[in-house]
């Protein structure tokens, strides 16, 4: 059975492979999902209950859960996590739902950089 960390790692590997293949929209989407999984895993591990009986937080709910101290890092890191998560979700929305939005190599590389940064902070929680 896969864990949230397994899903996160797989999504990051996929994002890197997609970037190398020139599939920038897929790269951005997977980079966001790697971050979502890592954060969701930490929140789920704290025993948080979610709406509608879900086993994971809604995407729009996750920044508030991070701000609400369900992720135990410094205040500075907490705000960096929230900003990075929001930035990645925004570009992921463009990549997945806005065909006319420009999603290029630079955006994909920035998404990978943001995801790696986010995951580095989250790893401190292990």
**Domain coordinates of the chain in residue numbers?**
4-123
- pLDDT at residue number 38: 94
CA 121-124-125 angle, 5° bins: 110
The mean of the pLDDT values for the chain is: 91
The stretches of 1-126 forming alpha helices (DSSP H) are 4-20, 24-45, 62-65, 75-97, 105-123
Decide if 81 contacts 66 (C-beta within 8 A): yes
Fold for domain 4-123? 1.20.120
Mean pLDDT of the region 30-44: 94
Q: What is the pLDDT of residue 71?
A: 66
Residue 9: alpha-carbon gap to chain centroid: 11
């Amino acid at each position: 059975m896969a864990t949230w960390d397994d899903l996160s790692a797989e999504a990051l590997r996929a994002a890197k492979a997609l970037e190398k293949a020139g599939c920038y929209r897929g790269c951005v989407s997977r980079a966001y999902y790697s971050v979502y999984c890592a954060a969701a895993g930490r929140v789920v591990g704290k025993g948080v209950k979610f709406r509608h009986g879900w086993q994971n937080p809604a995407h729009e709910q996750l920044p508030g859960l991070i701000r609400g101290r369900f992720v135990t890092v410094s205040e500075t890191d907490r705000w960096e996590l929230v900003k990075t998560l929001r930035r990645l979700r925004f570009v992921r929305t463009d990549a997945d739902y806005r065909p006319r939005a420009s999603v290029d190599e630079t955006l994909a590389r920035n998404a990978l950089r943001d995801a790696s940064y986010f995951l580095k902070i989250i790893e401190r929680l292990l």
